[in-house]
A = this chain, B = another copy of it.
């Protein structure tokens, strides 16, 4: 439990999303505050009834200073904010906003840098020169795809249940980074080649997330090969159905738990300007493990 003292000068932050009831993020953010002595508290705010924009309006009125934008709202805000950072603007996903005293709202994306930092730490692998296969085109998928491109991966294949969105995201990536991305059509030979020849397969949709854990996005006939590194951005359940299938085929599998650790750090830093040094980061990583490995 975080030790925090809420007084009249405490800054309020919020986690806003549709599926946040099991999220460890408010508690971990409060642990970072407690650890650094920053006077703030994060509260959870469900967007289920009102949607993200009326919730943001309400949070502005109640003096909230920043909001983490959770699933499924990362791609809804770009045109609505006072300003959007280059990272968020380029990838089309805002996962964090900062609210100034004058009520202006500034959007940013911390998931790109969090993924770039976290992936090599978690997997001991570089993204550089790897062939990547990504499921999804939502906020997380966009951040992951941009992170892979920025890390100079060899190429990205993007699969989505709505192929139009996959083509749009590929066009955006190709426009920024040259011809590196290809939208997948599961029946097309080049998609099938792309899947088997991928080094890293990244699941970045909400398919398989609690409570619907008995589903996975891979179509029939697609089988993991033992050389695949399989990364699921979901963290609850800790082992998704996709991860289970991949593990059975001998793959190295990872989940999204520790991405979120780095994302909380990046978010805290963007809001407060406070950079936690490496030694304290290690201590906080132990707190994070206690927290998230027990949900």
Contacts and interface: CB of A to CB of B under 8 A. Distances in A.
Interface of A: 1-10, 12, 14, 20-24, 26-27, 30, 34, 41-46, 49-50, 54-55, 57-59, 61-63
B59 A62 contact: yes
A128 to B, nearest CB: 37
A34 B26 CA distance: 16
Contacts of A3: 1-3
Contacts of A43: 6, 10, 12, 41, 43, 62
Determine how many copies of this chain the complex contains: 2
Contact of A6 (B5, B9, B44, B57): B44
Contact of A21 (B6, B9, B21, B44): B9
A14 B1 CA distance: 20
B7 A42 contact: no
Contacts of A7: 21-24, 26-27, 44
A71 to B, nearest CB: 13
Contacts of A12: 43, 45
Contact of A61 (B9, B20, B41, B50): B50
Contacts of A5: 1-2, 27
A59 B57 CA distance: 11
- Enumerate the 5 nearest inter-chain pairs by beta-carbon distance, A residue then B residue, closest first: A8-B21, A58-B58, A6-B26, A58-B61, A1-B3
Contacts of A62: 14, 43, 45, 55, 58-59, 62
A22 to B, nearest CB: 6
Contacts of A49: 61
A12 B3 CA distance: 17
7 contacts: A2-B3, A2-B6, A7-B23, A41-B43, A43-B43, A45-B63, A55-B62
Given A2-B3, A7-B24, A8-B23, A54 B61 contact: yes
Contacts of A14: 62
A38 to B, nearest CB: 13
A192 B1 CA distance: 57
A234 B14 CA distance: 32
A150 B92 CA distance: 63
Given A54-B61, A55-B62, A58-B61, 19 more contacts: A4-B30, A5-B27, A6-B27, A6-B41, A6-B42, A6-B44, A7-B27, A8-B26, A8-B44, A9-B21, A10-B26, A10-B44, A12-B43, A12-B45, A14-B62, A45-B62, A49-B61, A55-B61, A58-B59
